[in-house]
Amino acid sequence: MRVAIGLSVLVLGAGGIGHAVVSGLEDGIGRVDPFKDMKNRPQGGHGTNLLLVGTDGRDTITEEERKKYRLGGAPCHCTDTIMLVHLSADRRRASVVSLPRDSYAEMPAHTDRTTGERHESHPVKLNAAYAEGGPTLTVRTVENMTKVKIDHYLEIDFTSFMKTVDAVGGVEICTARPMEDSYTGLDLPAGVHELNGGQALQYVRSRHVDVAADLGRMERQQKFMAALIKRATSSGVLLNPMRFKDVSATVLDSVRADKDFGTEQMLALGRAMKDFGPASSEFASVPVGDPSFPVEGIGSTVRWDAEESKKLFQALREDKPLAPAKPKPGPKAGAGKRPPAALVDVAPKEIRVQVYNGTPKNGLGRSVDEALRATGFATTEVPLNGEAREVERTLVEYDPRWDRSAKSLATALPGSELKPVEDQGPQMKVTVGADFTRVRPVRAESRGTTGDLSPVRGDEVVCP
């Protein structure tokens, strides 16, 4: 949240009023020294690295908020969310990498901040580092695991989170299917939603929405950050000095940061990031080798894929983008923009499709097959002619057991008709009719359900 608001909206630093507005806000920032007495740190690379930590702090939550947003229980004084944020040297890109809180970690030797007891290096879940040694031990543990040098530390708790969201007027979240979690109280029907601070907290905390569990939760946190950046950079906050000051004061009053991240650093980043937006951000999660790695005395942990995670963090150190380059528009692109991808419940790559041409038009079946494959569907690549060649309306035939896949496919074929066929099996059958106009790009609601958390750009996960 500190990155999305504290950096992205500080573009007023590019104007003459920037310093006057921001300089009076620094006293509101809580200060910590996470780098105190740290030695043998990784070598610095290009760009700036920030460790963004969300703590499970419920001490300042009101009783009404506890009940409304299901925030019962005692605070664990641990990290609920850990993200490594890399700002490129040219300030045109922010790469956000989610670190699973249950990651298997080797905690460095340290003195427990609560008991004063000296501990040698030992295995833990990553989120325990904060409980045992606070920000300093958290930074040391992450640096040991990633070999990425942390330049700044930013911390936010539940109260800070809700204030931030409410300060910018809420965020817009899209869901392709209903989302319910009895643990957090999340209850969202399919569609577009404007979430306030408390609702947004339910959204990013939910782990029981689907089988993706914590991986799905990390993905929702990434989508939320992209949506927050979109709202902050498009809501007029940047153009109204008084509103900007009010929002900034609210946010900065409820976060903690390292002592070297002050007004001058904020202004410098703001000036450099004046054109920042959702397309400037990219999101990834650490590649996982074993999502349920058992450790005696600790339980099930998330073990990283050693080789793939090494490549990911090397890219950060070398200031390289993580997400694939955005395709350049073709020569006809000027005639109109490519329509935004529609959200679907099932990832296109999980849906097998056989295309039939139900019209006299030669080559139409192949065109539709190629277009479906281009948006991710697993087509046979061998389109056939249908038995009937005078079909008026495009038809999607499917086995009722795969109805979610069928609805996702039909979304890519606007106006098509759905027809259940018993015992057809998992492969969808598309008969292209005379009404066919185009294949609409689609993207999955959740990458976590398939285990595919490959990097994506922010403009790919916000509402169209």
Residue 406 pLDDT: 95
Residue 333 pLDDT: 35
Does pLDDT of 303 surpass 60?
yes
Does pLDDT of 69 surpass 90?
no
Q: Which amino acid belongs to residue 1? A: M
Quote the tokens at residue 164. 């931030």
Tell me the mean pLDDT in the region 99-107.
90
Tell me the mean pLDDT in the region 396-405.
94
Q: At what angle do helices 213-234 and 197-205 cross, to 10 degrees?
A: 150
Q: In 10 A of CB 6, how many CB atoms? A: 24
Q: Where are the alpha helices (DSSP H) in 294-414?
A: 306-317, 364-374, 403-411
Tell me the mean pLDDT in the region 289-316.
92
CA distance 18 to 369: 53
Does residue 212 contact residue 219 with C-beta atoms inside 8 Å? yes
CA distance 178 to 113: 43
Tell me how far apart the terminal alpha carbons of the chain are, to the nearest angstrom.
Answer: 22
Mean residue pLDDT of the chain comes to 81
Confidence of residue 334 (pLDDT cuts 50, 70, 90): very low
Q: Which residues contact 310 (CB under 8 A, 6 or more apart)?
A: none
Q: Compute, in degrees rounded to 10, the torsion defined by CA atoms 352, 358, 361, 363.
A: 20
Q: Which of 113-122, 302-311, 356-365 has the lowest mean pLDDT?
A: 113-122
Quote the tokens at residue 84. 């490594």
Give the whole-number percent of the chain exceeding pLDDT 70.
Answer: 76
CA distance 208 to 217: 9
Tell me the mean pLDDT in the region 188-209.
87
Residue 245 pLDDT: 65
Does pLDDT of 371 surpass 70?
yes
Q: Which of 143-157, 229-243, 388-402 has the lowest mean pLDDT?
A: 229-243
Quote the tokens at residue 406. 């069928």
- Output 5 or 118, whichever has higher pLDDT: 118
Residue 213 pLDDT: 67
Residue 330 pLDDT: 44
Q: In residues, how long is the chain?
A: 464
- Is the pTM value of this prediction over 0.75? no
For residue range 421-460, what is the model confidence (pLDDT) as tens digits?
Answer: 999 999 999 999 999 999 999 887 665 544 556 788 888 7
Question: How would you class 311 by CB atoms within 10 Å of its CB: exposed for 0-12, middle for 13-18, buried for 19 or more?
Answer: exposed
Confidence of residue 242 (pLDDT cuts 50, 70, 90): low
Residue 72 pLDDT: 62
CA distance 87 to 322: 12
Residue 133 pLDDT: 86
Q: Map 245-284 to HEC letters.
A: HHHHHHHHCCEEEECCCCHHHHHHHHHHCCCCCHHHEEEE
Does residue 145 contact residue 105 with C-beta atoms inside 8 Å? yes
Quote the tokens at residue 57. 């702090």
How does strand 255-258 pair with strand 152-156?
A: antiparallel
Quote the tokens at residue 403. 């109805």
CA distance 301 to 341: 35
Confidence of residue 335 (pLDDT cuts 50, 70, 90): very low
CA distances from 315 to 141, 312, 366, 367, 450 (A): 20, 5, 39, 37, 24
Phi, then psi, of 15 in degrees rounded to 5: -105, 170
Which of 55, 53, 155, 140 has its CA nearest to residue 105?
A: 140
Does pLDDT of 398 surpass 90?
yes
| Angle at CA of residue 357, ends 351 and 358, nearest 5° | 115
CA distances from 441 to 89, 224, 237, 340, 408 (A): 33, 22, 32, 7, 11
CA distance 403 to 85: 39
Residue 209 pLDDT: 77
Residue 360 pLDDT: 93
Residue 131 pLDDT: 83
Phi, then psi, of 95 in degrees rounded to 5: -105, 120
Residue written as tokens 């090397």?
A: 314
Does residue 394 contact residue 432 with C-beta atoms inside 8 Å? yes
